[in-house]
């Protein structure tokens, strides 16, 4: 074991060697400050290992490497088809190392291994392949003006992109950002969340193995207040892409203004799921369960406000409770039978518990859950029972604020207009869902909900080919799909004089 790698064995027996340094200019290096981040296993609260944390000086070194790579012919002049080929190769490497990456993700994050492998890693591979296919299809256009002018546009990369990813889907969010950035020909400095610093380092080694030129992708761990702020304020970073809380997103917007960086933000949500009386209640209850309880409730688009029409309110609650009871097995994330693992950190665990206390004190009805789950393993770990509050009123804190856990509120409405008013009565506007058999109502309500995404008769079944993003305080811009490319390229207009004389 060198001083910048460590040999580890995950709880499922998977053995691997993990780099622990900062990945700058295709090499793993120590932090200039020797500061470290220690990863904690949320299942039993034990230490996994420590990795290097970037200082502002390290961020500067990574940005310099990215700028040099952006201007170097090995990347600048690489034919886009060849750029796509590198991305296809990386996707193949990720696929062949999927079990290791999923093991790291589960160990570091707490999500069920079956989800990390079959859902998250599958999405990572698909996302890279999708954008690899776009690499040689990004082009400008000719524009007819007059016979004396040839006008055309070029779609060109923005430059050096700073990317800051969250802890709930570390690898998936890295793919969402790296895919379009690389397809468009940018270079990247990407920082992982300090809560989940491990899987991105293994990915960095695969990026080098795939053959990307030095400096094209630089991978840092570090604390947000130091490394994240250094990326956001750096004068030679052309773009910032961030996924995380709304509060942090606002701070990044302010910092990025120092040189008017191009910006993409995907932030918080308090997404509504509306169930009309004509809905298929069995399906509505099952999708509502998936929409809030999957990934331990740690999903920005989680449909965490269930708005149910009065005539079917009690019947829906009964079916929703049945879906939780039959599916939400809380346990060891490496167990095949586990649906819900631990919250990612003690801080997140305590945050969810504080909202449970708030719901009680505000007078909502605790229908199920509401306690730490202490019957897993040795009794340690950040496990919380799936929690449902009913008879929730719109003025309550638990109705208005994002909890980010296995925690849902249920409220009642009478009419379609009231449902829309309740759905839109929020500072957020990320996801939403509508359950009805009336196709006219479905389209009508989908058009009037103030959200970047609407699922009709489903919840949280996003797709890498379809744009993802929010309105209001849920973000700026779009990721995924063809729309995701717009965030990473800029249009240059060229005017060629074909005969106009002065």
User: How far is CA 49 from its chain centroid?
Assistant: 24
Catalytic position from the list 266, 385, 402, 479:
266
Can you tell me the distance from the alpha carbon of 488 to that of 409, in angstroms, rounded to the nearest whole number? 37
Phi, psi of 117 (to 5 degrees): -80, -55
User: Which residues share a beta bridge with 264?
Assistant: 241
Show the tokens assigned to 310.
Answer: 């009065």
> Do residues 323 and 367 make contact, with C-beta atoms less than 8 angstroms apart?
no
| DSSP code per residue over 41-72 | -TTT--EEEEEE---HHHHHHHHHHHHHHHHS
Is the Cα torsion angle 176, 179, 180, 181 positive or negative in sign?
positive
Which H or E run contains 215?
A: none
Active site residue 266: yes
Residues in Cβ contact with 94 at an 8 Å cutoff, skipping those fewer than 6 apart: 101, 121, 124, 125, 128, 203, 206
Closest CA to 90 of 227, 224, 221, 188: 188
Percentages of the chain per state (helix, strand, coil), in multiples of 5: 40, 20, 40
Rg for the chain, CA atoms, rounded: 24
Can you tell me the distance from the alpha carbon of 173 to that of 266, in angstroms, rounded to the nearest whole number? 11
Burial class (CB in 10 A: 0-12, 13-18, 19+), 148: exposed
Can you tell me the distance from the alpha carbon of 338 to that of 332, in angstroms, rounded to the nearest whole number? 6
**Active site residue ranges:** 266
């Amino acid at each position: 074991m060198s001083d910048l790698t460590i040999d580890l064995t995950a709880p499922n027996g998977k053995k691997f060697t993990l780099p622990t340094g900062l990945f700058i200019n295709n090499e793993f290096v120590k932090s200039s400050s020797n500061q470290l981040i220690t990863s904690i296993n949320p299942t039993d609260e034990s230490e996994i290992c420590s990795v290097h944390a970037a200082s502002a000086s390290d961020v500067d070194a990574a940005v310099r490497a990215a700028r040099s790579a952006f201007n170097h012919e090995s990347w600048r002049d690489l034919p886009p088809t060849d750029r796509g080929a590198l991305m296809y190769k990386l996707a193949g490497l990720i696929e062949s190392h999927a079990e290791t990456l999923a093991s790291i993700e589960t160990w570091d994050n707490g999500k069920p291994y079956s989800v990390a492998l079959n859902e998250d890693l599958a999405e990572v591979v698909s996302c890279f392949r999708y954008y690899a296919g776009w690499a040689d299809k990004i082009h400008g256009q000719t524009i007819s003006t007059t016979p004396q002018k040839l006008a055309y546009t070029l779609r060109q990369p923005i430059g050096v992109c700073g990317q800051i990813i969250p802890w709930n889907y570390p690898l998936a969010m890295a793919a969402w950002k790296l895919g379009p950035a690389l397809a468009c020909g940018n270079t990247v400095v990407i920082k992982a969340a300090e809560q989940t610093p491990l899987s991105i380092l293994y990915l960095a080694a695969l990026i080098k193995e795939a053959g990307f030129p030095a400096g094209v992708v630089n991978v840092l761990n570090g604390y947000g207040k130091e490394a994240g702020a250094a990326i956001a304020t750096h004068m030679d970073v052309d773009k910032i892409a961030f996924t995380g809380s709304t509060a942090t997103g606002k701070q990044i917007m302010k910092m990025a203004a120092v040189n008017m960086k191009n910006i993409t933000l995907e932030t918080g949500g308090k997404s509504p799921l509306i169930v009309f009386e004509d809905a298929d209640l069995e399906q509505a209850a099952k999708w509502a369960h998936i929409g809030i309880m999957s990934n331990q409730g740690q999903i920005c688009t989680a449909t965490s406000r269930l708005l149910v029409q009065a005539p079917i309110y009690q019947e829906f609650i009964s079916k929703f409770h049945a879906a939780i009871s039959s599916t939400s097995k809380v346990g060891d994330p490496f167990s095949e039978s586990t649906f819900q693992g631990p919250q990612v950190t003690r801080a997140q665990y305590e945050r969810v518990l504080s909202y449970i206390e708030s719901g009680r004190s505000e007078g909502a009805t605790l229908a199920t859950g509401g306690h730490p789950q202490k019957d897993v393993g040795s009794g340690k770990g950040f496990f919380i029972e799936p929690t449902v509050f009913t008879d929730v009123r719109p003025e309550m804190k638990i109705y208005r604020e994002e909890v980010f856990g296995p925690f849902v509120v249920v409220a009642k409405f009478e009419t379609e207009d009231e449902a829309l008013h309740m759905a839109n009565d929020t500072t957020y506007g990320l996801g939403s869902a509508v359950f009805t058999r009336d196709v006219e109502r479905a389209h009508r309500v989908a058009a009037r909900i103030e959200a970047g995404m609407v699922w009709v008769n489903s919840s949280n079944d996003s797709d890498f080919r379809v744009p993802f993003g929010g309105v209001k305080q849920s973000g700026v811009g779009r990721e995924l799909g063809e729309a995701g490319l717009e965030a990473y390229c800029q249009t240059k207009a060229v005017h060629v004089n074909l005969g106009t004389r002065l």
